[in-house]
Amino acid sequence: MTTKSAHDSPILVTGAAGAVGAIGRNLTALLLAKRHKVRALVRREDERAEALRQLGAEVVQGDLTDLTSMHRAIEGCARIYFGMSVSANYLEATTNTAAVARHHGVEAFVNMSQMTVTQMSITETTDSPQHKLHWLAEQALSWSGLPVVTVRPTVFLEGFFLLFAAAGVREADELALPMGAGKTSPISAVDVARAASAILDDPVPHIGHLYNLTGYESADLDHYARVFSEALGRTIRYRDVPLSGWSEGFGRPGCQRTSLTTSRS
């Protein structure tokens, strides 16, 4: 016996196969569990795309900056989750997706931004090119006339504290991150996906609102080093490292720089 979906038009989830944080993948699973149809946009056909199909999503391959791709992805969708990893094309992708979304008359556009934008304005900016792109993208969406909901999470727990810091903790008993003496409030990407899922499930009360998402506490990196120490049963110390050298050690330059800049004091 098959159960009819509670919602006839699919929700488009961009970045559905993303690796670090995996908000799109978690969001896809959560929406499917609520009996929504989900159209998952991926950049390439691989095992991650197949895993989304196995969950029950309709998988569409495409490029956020390509007009034809986005018409194919958005047509027939009433609600959109827009999230994109760090890229020089971020603003282009946002405006391209927004233009096509407006053409198709979507009823909700949930934009995944970042917490740093809270500190920016027409007179205040940062040195980070990606922060500037996020701020400009939010401006463009506010001008678009679309029914936008903006979500601004802080740094992701899974990325910085469980993936990028793992080698230093494992090999040198140190939490080596370019955070200075500043404080941060890491949040799980799963919790961010839960928030987006709740918005997309019933978007009307949220249209025009902005949500800043953080973890349950804000603390410096010495505190988080103590948390690691207690969990692992050995002493882990925090070591502040230069941002440039640290980010060069990863395959996606700039990703770490984007989310950490505002955490330094």
Tens digit of each residue's pLDDT (9 = 90 or more) over 85-140: 878 899 999 999 999 999 999 999 999 998 888 888 898 888 788 889 999 999 99
Helix 90-104 and helix 67-74: axis angle, to 10°?
50
- Kindly state the percentage of the chain with pLDDT values over 90: 63
What integer is the mean pLDDT of 210-221? 92
Domains parsed from the chain with CATH numbers: 11-263 (3.40.50.720)
Instruction: Supply 161's token pair.
Output: 């504290």
Residue-wise pLDDT tens digits, 104-115: 999 999 999 988
| Model confidence band, residue 248 (pLDDT cutoffs 50, 70, 90) | low
What pLDDT does residue 249 have?
Answer: 54
Phi-psi region of 142 (alpha: psi -120 to 50; beta: other; left: phi over 0): alpha
Mean pLDDT of the chain: 87
| Model confidence band, residue 241 (pLDDT cutoffs 50, 70, 90) | confident
Neighbours of 182 (CB within 10 A): 15
Residue 64 scores a pLDDT above 70: yes
Query: Closest by alpha carbon to 125, among 111, 136, 140?
Result: 136
Are 189 and 157 in contact by the 8 Å Cβ rule? The answer is yes
Query: Closest by alpha carbon to 196, among 112, 139, 114?
Result: 112
What integer is the mean pLDDT of 212-233? 93
What pLDDT does residue 81 have?
Answer: 97
